[in-house]
Amino acid sequence: MAEAERIIGTPDIPEAAGAEPERSVPGSDATAAGTSDGTTSDASDGTAAAEPAAESDGAKDVKGAKGASEGADGESGGAVAGTSGDAADGADADGPKDKGKRKIAVLFAVAVFAYALDLISKMIVVAKLEHHEPIEVVGDLLRFNAIRNAGAAFGFGEAFTVIFTCIAAGVIVVIARLARKLYSLPWAIALGLLLGGALGNLTDRLFRSPGVFEGAVVDFIAPKGFAVFNLADSAIVCGGILIVLLSFRGLDPDGTVHKD
């Protein structure tokens, strides 16, 4: 018997072959798979959800930055526009005043020039020509001949010296009042000539003999066949002619033009 068993061989025994293979517990694989799938799905879903969220946050940041930039640009543009508008308003508000000041400066510059020219010429005539023979400038057509004139321009009305003195003073006052509303350059020149001429003759009326308000004006320009006059008379006549021309053209001292 023992010999027979030896010849035939003994059957394999699981314990002898090795450890018993593991038995899978029903549902464990499914559970593990479910857990794995759930974890993967959750991770995937979380990643997928995080990506849009990140994209959304990034888009919001970009939009916010763009909005801030646009807001800054708008504020900057508004500030620039406001500054430009204020500057324009200031220029419009200050423009007429500055323009009027320039015209007044022109008026007084012309007046000072005419007055100084008349005063210097009379001083030279009194010092060099008075009580001397006339000087022929253009033959018999024009001579320098110093005389004393107690009347108005060109020797008229010698009996009304005081009246002419008052008229000259009144003209100066009127011109000074008109200067406040002066915005026309031609009018500034015309009034400057009148003012300088009036001041030149008024100085003679006040400070030359025979006395205050009765002083005789120094004349020395003597054209042939015409009354003797001085540079102050010339300035007054030129200013008056210019005023007449401006009036015919419809130009007012304030710069407006009207057509009647």
Task: Please confirm, yes or no, whether 86 is among the known catalytic residues.
Answer: no
Place of tokens 């030896």: 6
**Pairwise CA distance, residues 135 & 128, whole Å:** 11
Cβ atoms of 208 and 218 closer than 8 Å:
yes
Task: Please confirm, yes or no, whether 233 is among the known catalytic residues.
Answer: yes
Residues composing the chain? 260
- Active-site residue (options: 89, 92, 98, 233): 233
**Pairwise CA distance, residues 177 & 189, whole Å:** 15
Cβ atoms of 220 and 228 closer than 8 Å:
yes
- Active-site residue (options: 29, 98, 204, 219): 219
Cβ atoms of 155 and 228 closer than 8 Å:
yes
- What's the 3-state SS for 70-125? HHHHHHHHHHHHHHHHHHHHHHHHHHHHHHHHHHHHHHHHHHHHHHHHHHHHHHHH
Residues identified as active-site: 219, 233
